[in-house]
Amino acid sequence: MTKDKIAFQGEEGAYSHLACEQIFPGSSIKPCPTFEETFKTAYEDDAFKVIIPIENSLAGRVADIHYLLTKYKLQIYSEHFQKVEHNLLVKKGTKLNDIKYVRSHAQAIDQCQKIIIKHKFKTIISADTAGSAKELSKSNDKSIAAIASKLSAKIYDLDILEKNIEDDSGNVTRFLIMGKNVKQPEYEKNKKYITSCIFRVKSIYAALYKCLGGFATNQVNLTKLESFSVKNTFDQTNFYLDLEGHIEDTRVQKALEELGFHTQSLNILGVYEASSFRQKK
């Protein structure tokens, strides 16, 4: 049986790796140092899928992803909502009283302020959570701890001194599973779908108002709409949009036709089944 080939940004043990283990257990993985290299991997080899974090319930959208979506035009196959559970990792035999510093990604540091303030830890900002655990595993300094996933503790042979140290237990990251080949599920009326696209409005009066009118008249619900600038200009704006529905649904078709009429460019990024996580909200 052929293993799935999955690329993600970060070191082994990253939350993207954790998502990969849940979605594609036993897959062949390729950790990438940057999001650019992750996208490029799937763009150059259609055997690869990529797992990309696009937004976090606390921190908002992930920087640079929208520009890479536009640049590489990979197709979205599915979405995955991953609960983020931070843990305090230490070298074996380390006690809480030994720790003076805690190392992690800036967002993880921000999301674990209660324990940091309580124990008066000094913080060290690193590129990512799993990388912090990896660096800790190479050190003999017991005064430093790392904030990272349980998977990182397992991979780098570290002890979990305290579990679930995040300030907010509702911390969730939404991931997109993407690849180069265009494919979409067949439309079934009893299933819920998401259609994602990126469009650029014309630089005219009330352009966005006209673009969105078709969704209102056709009763199509938008779950996400974000703007991001067109590089090297302040005159135009791109928009990332998620809507509820399948592109073969007549209402969605009519809404997208109207959107296309009022835009300078429109790229459909994918049509995929809505995650069951959405039903729990």
What is the full per-residue pLDDT of the chain (281 aa) written as tens digits?
Answer: 678 999 999 999 999 999 999 999 999 999 999 999 999 999 999 999 999 999 999 888 898 899 999 999 999 999 999 999 999 999 999 999 999 999 999 999 999 999 999 999 999 999 899 999 999 999 999 999 999 999 999 999 999 999 999 999 889 999 999 999 999 999 999 999 999 999 998 878 888 899 999 999 999 999 999 998 876 666 678 999 999 999 999 999 999 999 999 899 999 999 999 999 997 65
Q: Report CA Rg, the chain.
A: 21
Cα 42 to chain centroid, rounded: 16
Residue 205: predicted pLDDT:
84
How far does the chain reach from its first CA to its final CA, in angstroms? 37
Q: Which listed residue (38, 70, 129, 173) is catalytic?
A: 173
Residue 169: predicted pLDDT:
86
55 & 12 share domain: yes
173 an active-site residue? yes
Residue 45: inside a domain, yes or no? Answer: yes
Closest Cα partner for 1 from 30, 27, 23? 27
Residue range of the domain that includes 204 = 193-280
Residue 1: predicted pLDDT:
62
CATH number at residue 273: 3.30.70.260
Between strands 172-179 and 48-56, the pairing is antiparallel
Residue entry with tokens 């994602």: 196
63 & 92 share domain: no
93 & 69 share domain: no
Residue 232: predicted pLDDT:
66
**198 contacts 239 by C-beta, under 8 angstroms:** yes
Residue 70: inside a domain, yes or no? Answer: yes
**Domain count within the chain:** 3
Q: Which listed residue (121, 175, 199, 215) is catalytic?
A: 175
CATH number at residue 63: 3.40.190.10
Residue 54: inside a domain, yes or no? Answer: yes
- Asked whether the CA dihedral 224, 227, 230, 236 is positive or negative, the reply is positive
199 & 267 share domain: yes
Residue 44: inside a domain, yes or no? Answer: yes
Residue 224: inside a domain, yes or no? Answer: yes
Residue entry with tokens 């509702």: 170
Residue 186: inside a domain, yes or no? Answer: no
Report residue 57 as tokens. 């319930």
**25 contacts 17 by C-beta, under 8 angstroms:** no
Residue 188: inside a domain, yes or no? Answer: no
**130 contacts 153 by C-beta, under 8 angstroms:** no
250 an active-site residue? no
Other CB atoms within a 10 A radius of the CB of residue 206 amount to: 10
